[in-house]
Amino acid sequence: MQIKAIKTKIFLENEDLLSFILKYIKKLPERSVLVVTSKIVAFAEGRTVEYKNENQKIVLIKQESSFALKTKLAWLTVADGMVMANAGIDESNAKGKLILLPKDSFKSALNIQQTLCKKFGIKNLGVVITDSRLFPLRAGIVGFALGYSGFEGIKNYVGKKDLFGRKFRMTKTNIADSLATAAVLCMGEGNEQQPLAIINEAPVVFTKKLNKRELIINPKEDIYAPLFNKLN
C-alpha cells in the first residue's frame, strides 16, 4: 500500500470543495482511495461558528451530540454514532472559530466519489473523510473515518478458519478506520497543510453499495462496557 499526502494552499471557508480537489489532483488511478480531511469539508459547508466564550461552546457540544458527559479535560460525547471529544468541535487551525463536523460525511464522500469517477473515467474509487480521535488508555490521537464511499468498510473473518483450523468467532477488521489512520499519519495534524492524500494498492473490496452502519455496534455489546462500568 502506498500513500501520498498532497500539499495545498489554505482552504477558505465556503470555497468549492470539488474545484479545490481537482486543482491538486489531475489524475486518479483505477482502484485508488482518495482521503480528504473533514476540516475542509466542514469549511466548504460553512460549518463554522465564531468563538465567543466557553458557555457558547458547551451549548454547541450538546446540540451536536446525542450524549455528552463533562470530564476533567473535555466533554466525552457520542456524535454520528461514535465516541469522540467535544462532539468533534475543533478550534485548531480555525483562526478564532469553532469548526463543527460536516453535516453528512457519508453523503459528502459519495458525492466526491461519483464526481471524480465521472471526471477521470474510472469505475472503482474509494473516498474517505477523516478526523482524529483518542483511544481509551492510550496517549496520542489517530485518524478515523467519519464517512466513506466506494468500498466495504469492514472485513469479516467470523466463521473462517485461522492457520490451525480454528474458526474465528468475533474477529472483524475495520478497513475504513485503518485506511484513515494510515493516511492521517502521512497528512499530519499541525501546520503541514496536507488535507488530501491518495492511497494506491489498498487491500479493499470496492463496491457500489454502502452500509453506513456496518462499523457501529450497540453500546451494550461493546467489549469495553464492563470495564468502564467499574471505573470511577
Are both 96 and 108 inside the same structural domain? no
pLDDT of residue 230: 66
- The span from the CA of 121 to the CA of 3, in Å, is 22
- The span from the CA of 148 to the CA of 223, in Å, is 25
Are both 126 and 203 inside the same structural domain? yes
Are both 111 and 147 inside the same structural domain? yes
Residue 228 pLDDT exceeds 90: no
- In which band, very low, low, confident or very high, does the pLDDT at 231 lie, cut at 50, 70 and 90? low
Q: Please compute the mean of the pLDDT values over residues 107-111 and round it to a whole number.
A: 97
Q: Are 144 and 66 in contact (CB under 8 A)?
A: no
pLDDT of residue 39: 95
pLDDT of residue 38: 96
Q: Is residue 133 helix, strand or coil?
A: strand
How many domains, the chain? Answer: 2
Are both 133 and 181 inside the same structural domain? yes
Cell of 157: 473473518
Are both 152 and 59 inside the same structural domain? no
Q: What are phi and psi of 182, to 5 degrees?
A: -65, -45
pLDDT of residue 177: 97
Last residue of one domain, picked from the residues 57, 79, 101? 101
Instruction: Give the domain range for residue 6.
Output: 2-41+103-230
Residue 34 pLDDT exceeds 90: yes
Are both 150 and 190 inside the same structural domain? yes
Residue 40 pLDDT exceeds 70: yes
- Amino acid in position 205: V
Q: Is residue 54 helix, strand or coil?
A: helix
pLDDT of residue 80: 85
Angle between helices 17-24 and 105-120 (to 10 degrees): 50
Enumerate residues 6+ apart whose C-beta is below 8 A from 192: 5, 7
Q: Please compute the mean of the pLDDT values over residues 94-113 and round it to a whole number.
A: 94
Burial zone of 37 (CB within 10 Å; 0-12 exposed, 13-18 middle, 19+ buried): buried
Cell of 3: 500513500
Q: What percent of the chain has pLDDT over 70?
A: 98
Are both 16 and 93 inside the same structural domain? no
- In which band, very low, low, confident or very high, does the pLDDT at 124 lie, cut at 50, 70 and 90? very high
